[in-house]
Amino acid sequence: MTSSHTPHAWDPERYLAYADERGRPFVDLVARIEAAAPARVVDLGCGPGNLTTLLKERWPDADVAGVDSSPEMIERASAIDGIAWEVGDLRAWATPDPLALPARVDVLVSNATLQWVPEHLELLPGLLDRVAPGGWFAFQVPGNFDEPSHTLRTGLAAQEPYAEHARDARVPSSHGPADYARVLLDLGCEVDAWETTYLHVLTGDDPVFAWVSGTGARPTLQALPDDLRPRFEEEFKASLREAYPADAAGRVVLPFRRIFVVARKGA
């Protein structure tokens, strides 16, 4: 995915460390899609592909494809048979070459991806245009960017000696469910939008850091030089331990708000 931000590489193994917790919102999202027998299904921002397999299980007769901007993620996903995998840019999907006339899809799913694309609200019409009449467009984004797991990282990264290195690191963001619903309603869709706060029970050493270092904090961490990154990580871990204290049994409860939208395009 082209960007003016500092590029970074994803680590599928680190991302999959909390596969069950990260997968539950995907399951809850797809459960609201009422497509009976779609011919073509696309997971846009498929990551390592472990959740895309659920789409194939749900619609075994459909042609299912997974698209992600990360070559590392697609390389990991390519070990899964029965699904077409592709390195691709979400923004290219939203603004395709008008001469290419790409095929429309019956179900377009995007799970925890749009938050990485600046001004993604403006891309919704283009993404919806890739959906066939009567088809489904469903996506989920985190809505917890005002929580300490994010604000502590942002505040620390703004301090020297980190700021000069981290200022161009990609930072995710999202909108409220009503914002997404209005755009899609104005485009003639039937829309179901909601939010859910999950309470993830984490264990182990610095589990909140382990969680965020695989997703939201990863671009910041990779933007730092090797001699500064350990210092930043230790300061960040200390502040996260204070914000999310473990109980006597060593458990940390991490509230995580998610925003869901399921839209059916007009026929």
Dig out the tokens for 92 from the structure.
């290219």
Residue 10 has pLDDT above 70, yes or no: no
**Per-residue confidence band for 29, with pLDDT thresholds at 50, 70 and 90:** very high
pLDDT in tens, 71-81: 999 999 999 99
Read off the pLDDT of each residue in 125-147 and give the average, rounded to a whole number. 96
User: In Å, what is the CA distance from 208 to each residue of 8, 25, 81?
Assistant: 21, 18, 33
Domain 12-151+171-198+258-264 CATH (choose: 3.40.50.150, 3.30.70.3270, 3.30.70.20, 3.40.50.300): 3.40.50.150
What percentage of the chain exceeds 70 in pLDDT?
92
Cα separation, 160 vs 121, in Å, equals 33
CA dist list (Å): 45 to 1, 9, 127, 247:
11, 14, 13, 35
- Report, as an integer, the average pLDDT of 160-179: 94
Strands 63-68 and 131-142 come out as unpaired
pLDDT of 231: 97
Q: Domain-by-domain residue ranges, the chain?
A: 12-151+171-198+258-264
What average pLDDT does the segment 229-258 reach? Answer: 97
Residue 247, Ramachandran bin (φ over 0: left; ψ between -120 and 50: alpha; else beta): beta
Model confidence band, residue 262 (pLDDT cutoffs 50, 70, 90): very high
Which tokens sit at 213?
């270092």
- The pLDDT value recorded for residue 13 is 52
